[in-house]
């Protein structure tokens, strides 16, 4: 799948995230899916931007290790692998996926009448040329008071346990309580469209 002004290429999304699948589909791309299956807790950085980039790199390394890379290098049509990661920053602390329902509840309660920032990375690896192009994007979300029954509903449903910081602004239970957003919804959801598109084009045009 490729646009009119770029060469033909194939895409692999290195993520099982439903939000990332949706965004990439909405961008008009067809793609296959592979997952990295890494222990993200083994990779630590104090800086959120450095952490999400390191995790996207580790995911790309893990997926390429599963592939017969020589096959991709010999093909005329390049294959691009997209990996990504995201954390939430709240009160100066990095938040990843909640480890329990209790932690998810505490995370969401903290956002009530407050704000949180999302920091997300995107890494595009050209499996033919081995070129890698990456970057990160940041957005901020400001909340009204989130009622306790809404928080309980989110926690009991369980989707918040599978996203960074338990933050699901696009969820119908959450969205009415979003006061303002600085940045784009796709960035908050885990795959900033403009950055992803730019990195795809950079990875296609780079020879190494």
Active-site choice (39, 85, 137, 186): 85
Burial group, residue 161, by CB count within 10 angstroms (0-12, 13-18, 19+): middle
Residue matched to tokens 């067809």: 30
d(CA 133, CA 196): 10
Task: For residue 120, give both structure tokens.
Answer: 């997300």
What tokens does 88 get? Answer: 């939430």
Tell me whether residue 39 is one of the annotated catalytic residues: no
Q: Which two tokens stand for residue 58?
A: 């580790």
* Among 96, 95, 99, 101, CA closest to 152: 101
Report the catalytic residues: 85
């Amino acid at each position: 799948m490729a646009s009119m002004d770029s060469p033909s290429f194939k895409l692999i999304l290195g993520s099982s995230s439903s939000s990332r699948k949706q965004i990439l589909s909405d961008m008009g791309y067809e793609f296959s899916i592979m997952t990295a299956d890494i222990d993200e807790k083994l990779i630590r950085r104090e800086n959120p931007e450095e952490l999400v980039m390191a995790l996207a790199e580790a995911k790309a390394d893990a997926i390429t290790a599963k592939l017969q890379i020589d096959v991709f290098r010999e093909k005329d049509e390049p294959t691009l692998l997209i990996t990504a990661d995201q954390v939430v920053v709240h009160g100066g602390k990095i938040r990843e996926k909640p480890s329990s329902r209790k932690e998810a509840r505490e995370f969401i309660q903290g956002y009530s009448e407050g704000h949180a920032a999302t920091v997300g990375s995107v890494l595009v690896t050209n499996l033919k040329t081995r070129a890698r192009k990456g970057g990160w994007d940041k957005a901020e979300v400001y909340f009204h008071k989130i009622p306790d029954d809404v928080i309980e509903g989110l926690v009991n449903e369980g989707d918040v346990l599978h996203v960074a910081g338990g933050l699901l602004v696009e969820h119908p239970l959450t969205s009415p309580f979003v006061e303002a957003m600085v940045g784009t919804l796709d960035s908050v959801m885990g795959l900033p469209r403009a950055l992803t598109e730019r990195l795809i084009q950079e990875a296609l045009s780079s020879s190494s």
